[in-house]
Amino acid sequence: MEKKNESIAISLIALIIGILAIVLSWVPIVNNLAAIFAIIGLIFGIIAVVINRKNKKTIGIVAIVVSIISFIIVLATQTFYSAKIDEAFKTSDSSSNISKTTGKATEESKSEAKKEDSGWDEATKTFTMNDGVLKIDKVEKTTDYDGKAAIKVYFTLTNTSTENKNAQILFQELTRVQQKSANTSNDLQYTMLSFDNTEEDHLNDNINTNGTISGYYPYSLENETDPIQILFEKNYETVATYEVALN
């Protein structure tokens, strides 16, 4: 008996749609359309098998198989791409948090670096520059030669330059002293103390290279209550401030 040939029109349509679905099933976003093609190809494949139930059904069956595989691939790729997108968002959030943390750490590092660059060490009350090292030992209230309020800023000063330095000039290169009121912060001026003061200030000493002296710098006060600010300077710019309350 002669075998009847398969009616291939609908079978071919189903197969073409199934092949198109399997090609598009790998492409993100577009594979949504591939799922629709896979369903259409499956429907046409089933119709082709039904029409050819007494004939050959090879192409129709292949179309059904291709369509089913396409749909499975769409589901698999959708799951994979969704997982990757979620992972990317999590990585982005993590990077953002790391960036914020790093930014905060960087700001703290800059702050610490700024403190180090200033040369001022609050713990030891020492200011270090290229030409000298100035340690503030204490600030003491006194009176000047005219009986007016004054202070002595006691210091230990080391000459780290390559030439001898006058103590008073080196001190003035490194610092200024102000009195801070509610409205003003004015530089205090050098004053002479009462004649019964026998303590040496050592401001006229010439300090040898790497030499160290201790002394005091006398200043006249504007009043006896407002705090004193000692401003430490680098290249004529204030880089640190030490405030002392007057008792």
Residue holding tokens 């006896």?
A: 224
Q: Residue 63: pLDDT above 90?
A: no
Predicted confidence at residue 100, as pLDDT, reads 61
Q: Residue 171: pLDDT above 60?
A: yes
100-116 average pLDDT score: 55
CA 135 – CA 242 distance, rounded (Å): 12
Between residues 54 and 232, which one has the greater pLDDT?
232
Domain ranges in the chain are 9-113, 121-244
CB 104: neighbour CB atoms within 10 A?
10
The tokens describing 121, both together, are 């060490």
Q: Residue 165: pLDDT above 60?
A: yes
Please indicate, yes or no, whether the overall pTM of this predicted structure exceeds 0.85.
Answer: no
CA 8 – CA 63 distance, rounded (Å): 11
CA 174 – CA 133 distance, rounded (Å): 9
Predicted confidence at residue 108, as pLDDT, reads 56
User: Is residue 219 exposed (0-12), middle (13-18) or buried (19+ Cβ within 10 Å)?
Assistant: buried
Instruction: With beta carbons less than 8 A apart as the criterion, state whether 221 and 162 touch.
Output: no
| 121-244 CATH choice from 2.60.40.1240, 3.90.1150.10, 3.30.410.10, 2.60.40.790 | 2.60.40.1240
Instruction: With beta carbons less than 8 A apart as the criterion, state whether 155 and 171 touch.
Output: yes
* pLDDT category of residue 1 using cuts at 50, 70 and 90: very low
Tens digits of per-residue pLDDT, 115-126? 457 899 999 999
Sorted by sequence, the CB contacts under 8 Å of residue 19 that are 6+ apart come out as 66
Lowest mean pLDDT among 17-31, 83-97, 134-148, 164-178: 83-97
Predicted confidence at residue 182, as pLDDT, reads 85
Q: Residue 54: pLDDT above 80?
A: no
Residue holding tokens 């589901």?
A: 75
* Strands 165-166 and 149-159, bridge-based pairing: unpaired
* pLDDT category of residue 95 using cuts at 50, 70 and 90: low
Q: CA torsion angle for 38, 43, 48, 51 (degrees, to 10)?
A: 180
Nearest CA-CA partner of 165 in 138, 127, 202, 121: 202
CA 241 – CA 247 distance, rounded (Å): 19
CA 117 – CA 169 distance, rounded (Å): 23
